[in-house]
Amino acid sequence: MKYSVLAAMIVLMTAVGCKKEKDSKPATVASIDFLVNGSPTQGNYDFFSFANGAKVAASDSNSTKWDFAMRFETMIVNSKASGPGNAGVQVLSQPFDAVITAPETGYRFDTTSAQKAIKGSEWYVYIDRSFAPIAGKTFVFRTATNKYAKLEIVSADALDAAGNVLSPQSTQRPTTIKYRIRFAYQADGTRNF
Distance CA 61, CA 65 (A): 8
- Checking if the pLDDT of 89 tops 80, the result is yes
The structure's pTM equals 0.86
Query: 139 near 183, Cβ under 8 Å?
Result: no
Q: How confident is the model at residue 13 (pLDDT cuts 50, 70, 90)?
A: very low
Widest Cα–Cα separation across the chain: 80
How do the domains of the chain map onto residue ranges?
Answer: 27-186
pLDDT, residue 41, reads 84
Query: 178 near 162, Cβ under 8 Å?
Result: no
Task: Render 138-191 in DSSP notation, one character per residue.
Answer: EEEEE-TTS-EEEEEEEEEEEE-TTSPBPPTT--SPPSEEEEEEEEEEETTS-S
- Checking if the pLDDT of 10 tops 50, the result is no
pLDDT, residue 101, reads 98
**Mean pLDDT over each residue of the chain, to the nearest integer:** 89
pLDDT, residue 5, reads 43
Alpha helices in the chain (DSSP H): 2-23
- Checking if the pLDDT of 91 tops 70, the result is yes
pLDDT, residue 127, reads 75
Distance CA 87, CA 116 (A): 13
pLDDT tens, position by position, 112-138: 989 999 998 899 998 766 789 999 999
Query: 25 near 188, Cβ under 8 Å?
Result: yes
